[in-house]
Amino acid sequence: MANKTKFQAIKGTRDLLPPETELWNRVEQTAREVFGTFGFGEIRLPIFEPTELFARAVGGETDIVSKEMYSFEDRQRQFPDLDDLGKLEEFLLAVEDAYKTGEIPQTPWNKGMIERVRLAFNSFRDTRDELNAMSEPSMEKFQEYAHYSFSASHWAHLTKLGDEISLRPEATASVCRAYIEHGMHALAQPVKLYYVGPMFRRERPQKGRYRQFYQIGAEVLEAITPNTDATKSLGKDAAVDAEVIEMVMVYFARLGLEGVVLDINSIGHSAPECRRGYVEKLKAALEKVKDKLGEDSKRRIETNPLRVLDSKLESEQAIIEKLPRIGDHLCADCAKHYAELKRQLELRGVAYRENWRLVRGLDYYMRTTFEITARGLGSQNAVCGGGRYDGLVELLGGAPTKGIGFAIGEDRVILSLQEAKKAVASGDPDQVGAGRRVASGKSGCDVYVAWMGKTAEATAIRAARDLRQAGFRVELPPVEQKFGKALGQADKLGARYALILGEDEVASGEWTLKTLADGTQGKVRGAELVAYLRGKK
Ligand code: ATP
Ligand code: MG
Per-residue pLDDT of the chain (537 residues; tens, 9 = 90+): 567 889 999 999 999 999 999 999 999 999 999 999 999 999 999 999 999 999 999 888 788 898 999 999 999 889 998 888 888 999 999 999 999 999 999 999 999 999 999 999 999 999 999 999 999 888 999 999 999 999 999 999 999 999 999 999 999 999 999 999 999 999 999 999 999 999 999 999 999 999 999 999 999 999 998 888 888 889 999 999 999 999 999 999 999 999 999 999 999 998 999 999 999 999 999 999 999 999 989 998 988 899 899 888 899 999 999 999 999 999 999 999 999 999 999 999 999 999 999 987 677 789 999 999 999 998 889 999 999 999 999 999 999 999 999 999 999 999 999 998 888 777 655 444 443 433 344 557 999 999 999 999 999 999 999 999 999 999 999 999 999 999 999 999 999 999 999 999 999 999 999 999 999 999 999 999 999 999 987
Cα 409 to averaged position of ligand 1 atoms, centre (Å): 6
Report CA(413)–ligand 1 centroid distance (Å): 11
* Distances 238 to 70, 437, 506 between C-alpha atoms, Å: 36, 33, 69
d(CA 181, CA 200): 23
The DSSP symbol for 491 reads H
Verify whether ligand 1 is closer than 6 Å to residue 213 (CB atom).
yes
Neighbours of 138 (CB within 10 A): 11
Question: Which string of b and e fits 485-515 if b means at least 16 CB within 10 Å?
Answer: ebbebbeeeebbbbbbbbeebbeeeebbbbe
Predicted confidence at residue 499, as pLDDT, reads 97
Q: How many other β-carbons are positioned within 10 Å of the β-carbon of residue 410? A: 22
Nearest to 506 by CA among 459, 449, 461: 459
Nearest C-alpha neighbor of 223 from the set 275, 170, 195, 182? 182
Task: Give the distance (Å) from ligand 2 centre to CA of residue 290.
Answer: 25
Residue 129, Cβ density class (10 Å: 0-12 exposed, 13-18 middle, ≥19 buried): exposed
| Pure H helices in 290-356 | 295-303, 317-321, 332-347
Query: 172, 201, 252: which to mutate for ligand 1, most atoms within 8 A of CB?
Result: 201
Q: Which residues of 195-210 are buried (b: 16+ CB within 10 A; e: fewer)?
A: bbebbbbbbeeeebbb
515 SS3 class: strand
Distance CA 152, CA 124 (A): 8
**Pairing label, strands 261-266, 353-354:** parallel
- The predicted pLDDT at position 71 comes to 96
- What residue owns the CA closest to ligand 1's atom 7? 64
407 lines ligand 1 (CB under 6 A): yes
What pLDDT score was predicted for residue 361? 66
The sign of the torsion formed by the CA atoms of 56, 58, 62, 63 equals: negative
Q: Nearest residue CA, atom 22 of ligand 1?
A: 409
DSSP strand pairing (447-451 vs 497-501):
parallel
385: Cβ below 6 Å to ligand 1? Answer: yes
> Which of 494, 482, 483, 498 lies closest to 449 in space, CA to CA?
498
| Contact by Cβ (8 Å): 33, 152 | no
Nearest 5°: phi and psi at 341?
-60, -45
Q: Would you say the CB of residue 380 lies under 6 angstroms from ligand 1?
A: yes
In ligand 1, the atom with minimum distance to the C-alpha of 406 is 14
307 lines ligand 1 (CB under 6 A): no
Ligand 1 atom closest to residue 385's alpha carbon, by position in its atom list? 11
CA of 360 to the centre of ligand 2 (A): 12
pLDDT in the model for residue 2: 64
* CA 65 – ligand 1 centroid, Å: 14
Three-state secondary-structure class, residue 484: helix
Residue of minimum CA distance from atom 9 in ligand 1 = 385
What is the number of residues in the chain? 537
Instruction: Please check whether residue 262 is in contact with residue 249, taking contact to mean a CB–CB distance below 8 angstroms.
Output: yes
pTM above the 0.75 mark? yes
DSSP string, 195-218: EEEEEE-----BTTB-SEEEEEEE
For residue 256, how far is its CA from the centre of ligand 2 (angstroms)? 25
- Model pLDDT, residue 426: 75
Helix intervals (H) in 138-171 = 139-158
221 bridge partner residues:
191, 403
Q: Nearest 5 degrees, angle CA 102-CA 107-CA 110?
A: 90
Question: How far, in Å, CA of 153 to CA of 39, rounded?
Answer: 57
**108-133 and 139-158 helices, crossing angle to 10°:** 160
Q: Is the CB of 383 under 6 A from ligand 1?
A: yes
Q: Which atom of ligand 1 is nearest to the CA of 169?
A: 10
Burial class (CB in 10 A: 0-12, 13-18, 19+), 367: buried
CA–CA separation, 218 and 400 (whole Å): 19
367 — alpha (psi -120 to 50), left (phi > 0) or beta? left
CB of 210 shorter than 6 A to ligand 1? yes
Compute, in angstroms, the gap from residue 76 CA to the centroid of ligand 1: 33
Pocket test for ligand 1, best of 263, 411, 413 (most atoms within 8 A of CB): 411
**Which atom of ligand 1 is nearest to 210's Cα?**
28
Phi, psi of 447, rounded to the nearest 5 degrees: -130, 125
Task: Report the nearest atom of ligand 1 relative to the CA of 372.
Answer: 18
Q: Are strands 48-50 and 474-475 parallel, antiparallel or unpaired?
A: unpaired
Is 170 a pocket residue for ligand 1 (Cβ < 6 Å)?
yes
- Report the residue among 213, 359, 373 best suited for mutation to probe ligand 1: largest number of ligand atoms under 8 A from its CB: 213
Ligand approaching nearest to the C-alpha of 211: 1
Please indicate whether residue 190, judged by its CB atom, sits closer than 6 Å to ligand 1. Answer: no
What secondary structure does DSSP assign to 342-382, as a single string? HHHHHHTT---EE-TT----STT-EEEEEEEE-SS-TT--E
Beta bridge partners of 373: 261, 382
- 3-state percent helix, strand, coil for the chain, nearest multiple of 5: 50, 20, 35
Task: Burial-class residue 261 by CB neighbours within 10 Å (0-12, 13-18, 19+).
Answer: middle
Let me know how many helices (H) and strands (E) the chain has, helices first.
19, 16
Least distant ligand from the CA of 209: 1
168 lines ligand 1 (CB under 6 A): no
> Using a 6 Å cutoff on CB, does residue 410 contact ligand 1?
no
- Ligand 1 atom 23, closest CA: 409
Residue nearest to atom 21 of ligand 1 (CA): 409
Instruction: Compute and round to an integer the Cα radius of gyration of the chain.
Output: 32
215 lines ligand 1 (CB under 6 A): yes
CA 352 to ligand 2 center in whole angstroms? 23
Q: Decide: 263 in ligand 1 pocket, CB within 6 A.
A: no
How close is the Cα of 169 to the center of ligand 1, in Å?
10
CA–CA distance, 399 with 288 (Å, rounded to integer)? 42
Are 165 and 72 a contacting pair, CB within 8 Å?
Answer: yes
User: Is 412's C-beta closer than 6 angstroms to any atom of ligand 1?
Assistant: yes
